[in-house]
Amino acid sequence: MTQPDHRGRTRVRREVVSFVRRSARMNPQQSKAWNAHHDRWVLDVPRAETDTSIDPTYTVDLAEAFGRSAPLIVEIGPGMGDSLVPMARAHSDFNVLAFEVFQPAVARILGRLASEAVQNVRVVQADAVEGLTTLVPQSSVDRLWMFFPDPWHKLRHHKRRLLSPEFADLAASRMKPGGLWQLATDWADYATQMRAVLDNHELFSNCHADGWAPRWEGRPVTRFEQRGIEAGRRIFDLSYRRR
């Protein structure tokens, strides 16, 4: 939303978002990967106010964007693609749509997709909240992946955490009944928050009687997970079925 500031200049009013608006300058290697592979794997979107927004009137035909109809996986915040690229390769029967705000990270993903010749991924450089809202049809997602979302561990920053009741409502609306939402975090209090939101959500049921999922073997250890392990933190996996 735009509104005039006290000097009468128009500025963008920022909502609370789950990411830091950092300088997104790419290094030469990332620029090279972006230029070489952008057309093949990036799904370009028209922007609204910011460079991670999506024009809310935009529509896309995902089957056309992927070049085929297939069950849909959405990954939120894949970072450098440490898990996205090998997991997409292991799920070649699925179309994998990834939302990542940080352009240098997207460039790293593109380099890996190209070198490993992974065809079934499209990356949108945008806020996943806007991406799910605008690009993803209702009841269309078979699997939702969200691994090591930014923990915002200071109490005053908890409002920036992506997983909230509102976000769970959005996810539920986009997932197919029977779809699977898999999450992981190395921050115990965020894991507890995820449980509190999702265990109490009428449209999700926890797949595991004791609450936590066993570590999913198919999920490669990313640098964020490794950092948590080295710091002595427990890794929490969670798995929910959309009712």
150 annotated active-site: yes
- From 66, 94, 224, 236, residue interacting with ligand SAM (rule: CB under 6 A): 224
- From 34, 66, 94, 99, residue interacting with ligand SAM (rule: CB under 6 A): 99
CA–CA distance, 206 with 238 (Å, rounded to integer): 8
- From 78, 104, 179, 228, residue interacting with ligand SAM (rule: CB under 6 A): 78
For the bound state, the minimum distance from the C-beta of residue 117 to ligand SAM, rounded and expressed in Å, comes to 21
Q: Which of 82, 127, 142, 150 is catalytic?
A: 150
Using CA atoms, how far residue 146 sits from 25, 49, 62, 63, 185, in Å, is: 25, 26, 20, 23, 9
Using CA atoms, how far residue 143 sits from 8, 92, 136, in Å, is: 46, 14, 13
Residue closer to ligand SAM, measured from CB, 58 or 205: 58
Binding string, 100-139, against ligand SAM, x = CB under 6 A?
Answer: xxx--x---------------------xxx----------
Residue closer to ligand SAM, measured from CB, 8 or 214: 214
Residue closer to ligand SAM, measured from CB, 148 or 240: 148
Residue closer to ligand SAM, measured from CB, 223 or 243: 223
The reply on whether position 186 binds ligand SAM by CB under 6 A is no
CA–CA distance, 240 with 182 (Å, rounded to integer): 7
- From 42, 53, 82, 91, residue interacting with ligand SAM (rule: CB under 6 A): 82
Amino acid letter at 209?
Answer: A
Amino acid letter at 190?
Answer: Y
CA–CA distance, 176 with 243 (Å, rounded to integer): 9
For the bound state, the minimum distance from the C-beta of residue 164 to ligand SAM, rounded and expressed in Å, comes to 12
The reply on whether position 19 binds ligand SAM by CB under 6 A is yes
Query: At 84, phi and psi to the nearest 5?
Result: -55, -50
> Token digits for 181?
């939402």
CA–CA distance, 228 with 65 (Å, rounded to integer): 36
Interacting residues of 222 by C-beta distance below 8 A, sequence separation 6+: 79, 80, 82, 83, 147, 148
Residue closer to ligand SAM, measured from CB, 33 or 162: 162
Enumerate binding residues for ligand SAM (CB under 6 A): 18-19, 76-79, 82-83, 99-102, 105, 127-129, 147-150, 162, 222-224
Active site residues: 150
